[in-house]
Every structure is written in structure tokens, then in C-alpha cells.
Amino acid sequence: MNHQSKVWLMIVFLAFSLTVLLGSNCSINNDREVSHHEIQALPTDEKPGASSEKSVDNLSVAEVTKANNKFALDFYGYLNEEQPGNIFFSPFSISVALAMTYEGARGQTAEEIKRVFYYPDDINVLRQGYADIICLINKKDKNYELSTANALWAHQDYYLLPDFIEAVEKYYGGKVTNLDFVHDSENSRLTINNWVEEQTRNKIKNLIPQGVINKLTRLVLTNAIYFKGNWEKQFPKSNTRADDFKITTDKTIKVPMMSITGSRFNYTENQDLQLLELPYVDREMSMLILLPKGDLSKVEPYLEVKKFEELKNKLQEAEVDVYLPRFKFETKYLMGGEQGILGRMGMPTVFSRTSADLSGINGRQDLCLTEVIHQAFVEVNEEGTEAAAATGIIMGVKMVLEKLVFRADHPFVFIIQHMDTGNILFMGRVIDPGG
């Protein structure tokens, strides 16, 4: 982005913070034997968060939330430098998928993943934190939709270490399904994509493109996350008007601008920006909007964990007239390769055909990541917000694969957070609300 340009930029941090109540029961472990030959998804009552066996570990949740939020802001920074258009992603989806990969990483490979994702030193803290967060996301009896699911897809008869299978199922709810990547790559790809579509209410389609899965693929890890919630105070549809949105000082477009006036919201401002919080029903989740006073560069210094938290702590209830454009768009990022975004962030070894060490998965050093794909969808309108994302991690026997590159367009950054823990599950930027 041209930092000299004056833009009307809305940086929306849609960060889902999960309610953590002392004494609440939460367990992801369904305590059943792992089957390597089950094609169907887990029944509803066996999905993460279905059972109630132990209390939430608040310290572990806090550590994993802190790690996730640090990665979120780092990852946004890399996308911000490279992509001139709309940005949207789920840091939670990426980080939980890589946490499953981390379970099987060893040596330098593990150290690099740990540094990029800020995982805690204690693997038990990491595991318990994710187990409790997944359970909290999937809790029942809420007035909004929020769910997440993990899955492992292994080549038929491909050996996986029992400890790896047990850890992924017990702490991440990821059950192993066997497919035939060697002789039926296309149907295997369609099976995985269909699972993602089902988990995201058909919002994330064709996550894994043709050609990414081939006869050398041995394991695919997937995460899917979905959210749909109404505003606590909805924007009256009769108030929506076509209005100007300044993409740059030289380019203005007409957009459907929603408005709500005379209502009270949490709000603060300083010399650089205005910060507004729009709660969803039940006030368990909210959207934070950071609107710079002028150039986008005014906001960027606050996209750091400490400054961001300090800014949020200054929110106070006030009567505010709010104008927010409707928007809807989808993004897709292919992040694999030693020179891909994750490699440049500090974890190239896991993509190396000579140095990757994922021996904790199968007991051998013959695997490397061949691609990491992330796709996300968001729609904001008068009623509320719908958001979905999925991450696919493809592993194969070591070889050089052609690098795939994806680039979006151009103002509007955002995150989604739960009002207690501040755990960022989605983050993005809108440059062109027209999609």
C-alpha cells in the first residue's frame, strides 16, 4: 500500500475472544479407539466440546491466546507489505493447523514453527490451551453460531505413530480418515473439500485446488472455523444509503453505507485514530473498528500486541453515530515453500526436501510440507456478520514442487475478538467494499 496516500481505512479487528468461566466444564477427549479406516466425519456428539469432563485451564488458554494474537499481528504485517487489496484470514485456523503439525516436528523444524507461532515452551500448556479453546468455541446453548473442527487425512495403510494420532485426536479433536492419494488423488481432494464446505456452511469451497494433492501426498491436516452472529444493536436497513468511500485521494466509489445514530457503544480516540466496539448478541463477541485520522500509517503502530491492548483498555461507553459500509469478499493464500510467507516469517525448514524433520508423525524423516493453503470468507451487513475460514496443510514425500502464488487487491483492515480473552480468530482488511 502507498503510505503517502490518504485513505478512508477501516481496520476491523474481528477477534473472537472465548468466554472463560471459572468452574466451567470442558473436554475435547472422547476417549475412544482411533480408527484409520473411517471415511465419515465425527458424529455431532463426538465433536470437540461435546463432552464435559474437566474444568477449563485459564492459564493455558491465556498462553495460547497470547501466542495466537502475536502471530495474527505478525502475519497481517507480512500480508500488508505484499497485498494492496482486501485482506481477511483466521489466525486461529492457521495456528491450530500448524499446532497439529508441530506435534510431529522435531529438531530445527520444531524450533522454527514454535518461534513463528509463539507456542509455549511446555507442550502440555499448548495442548491443554487448544483443547479448552476448541471446546469453548464449540459450546452449545449460545445465540450465535461459532464452531471449529479438525481432521487428518492419511494415505491408506500409511503408518502414523500412535503417539501422534493420540495427541491430535485427544487435544485437537482430529480423527484420521484414510484416502487413496496415490491412485485416486482427485476423489481424495474432493472428499476433503466437501468436508470443509460442510463445516463452513458452504462458504469455503474448493479449498485445495487441482494438482496440489498428487501421488506423492501422504497426509493432509485441515481446520475449519465458522461464525455467524447478529449485532446487539442492528443497523436499520431503511438507513442504508449509497455514499462515497475513498479508496485513495484520487479514487472514490459509491458503496451501501449503513448507519445507526443515537446509540451508546464503547469508544475512544486519540490523535491518530478512533476506536469503536460493536458487540454481537450475548456480548460474548465483538467487532473492533480502528479508523485512522487520515493516512493508514496512523494505525499501523497500534498493530502490536502491547499497544493494541493499551488502546482497548481506554474504551468507554459513549453515544456515537456510526456509519459502516456493507461488505462481502473472499480471500485465498497459498503460503508454502521455503520462500513463501511462512518460510520468510522464519520457518523454511519444514518445507525443505532435504532438512525437514517431521519424524514425530511416522518415525521417519521422509516428509515435508508441500503446501499450506488458507481461505476465508466474510460478510458484514445490517443484521450482523458471517465469517468462515479453512486451512489445509499438505505433506508429501520430499521433493521440489512448483511454487504457487496468490495476490488480492486493495483499504480496510480487521480482526474478530471475544470480549474476555481477546483471542483473535479472524483478521482482515477491506480496501474495496465492493468485493
pLDDT tens per residue across span 348-399: 999 999 999 999 999 999 999 999 999 999 999 999 999 999 999 999 986 5
Summary mean pLDDT of the chain = 83
Q: Is the confidence at residue 318, as pLDDT, over 80? A: yes
Is residue 426, in this structure, part of any structural domain at all? Answer: no
What pLDDT score does 22 carry?
A: 30
Tens digit of each residue's pLDDT (9 = 90 or more) over 80-126:
888 878 899 999 999 999 999 999 999 999 999 999 999 999 999 99
Question: Which has the higher per-residue pLDDT, 53 or 331?
Answer: 331
Q: Is the confidence at residue 41, as pLDDT, over 80? A: no
User: Is 151 strand, coil or helix?
Assistant: strand
* Distance separating alpha carbons of residues 141 and 82, to the nearest angstrom: 41
Question: Which has the higher per-residue pLDDT, 297 or 237?
Answer: 237
Is residue 323, in this structure, part of any structural domain at all? Answer: no
Percent of the chain with pLDDT over 90: 65
Percent of the chain with pLDDT over 70: 80
Tens digit of each residue's pLDDT (9 = 90 or more) over 326-356:
999 999 999 999 999 999 999 999 999 999 9
Is residue 111, in this structure, part of any structural domain at all? Answer: yes
Residue 386 and residue 53 in contact, taking contact as beta carbons nearer than 8 Å: no
- Candidate from 27-31, 263-267, 289-293 with smallest mean pLDDT: 27-31
Residue 199: which CATH number?
3.30.497.10
DSSP annotation of 351: G
Is residue 116, in this structure, part of any structural domain at all? Answer: yes
* Distance separating alpha carbons of residues 350 and 336, to the nearest angstrom: 10
Is residue 53, in this structure, part of any structural domain at all? Answer: yes
What pLDDT score does 49 carry?
A: 38
What pLDDT score does 84 carry?
A: 76
Is residue 418, in this structure, part of any structural domain at all? Answer: no
Is residue 260, in this structure, part of any structural domain at all? Answer: no
What pLDDT score does 81 carry?
A: 87
Q: Is the confidence at residue 137, as pLDDT, over 50? A: yes
Residue 321 and residue 259 in contact, taking contact as beta carbons nearer than 8 Å: yes
Number of structural domains found in the chain: 1
Q: Which residue has the cell 443497523?
A: 235
To the nearest 10 degrees (0 to 180), the angle between helices 107-117 and 91-102 is 160
Instruction: Kindly state the helix (H) or strand (E) to which residue 221 belongs, with its residue range.
Output: strand 217-230
Task: Please name the residues in contact with 106: beta carbons below 8 A apart, sequence gap of 6 or more.
Answer: 357, 358, 359, 360
Is residue 82, in this structure, part of any structural domain at all? Answer: yes
What pLDDT score does 379 carry?
A: 96
Domain with 87, as residue range(s), is 25-229+328-410
- Candidate from 37-41, 200-204, 416-420 with smallest mean pLDDT: 37-41
Q: Is the confidence at residue 48, as pLDDT, over 60? A: no
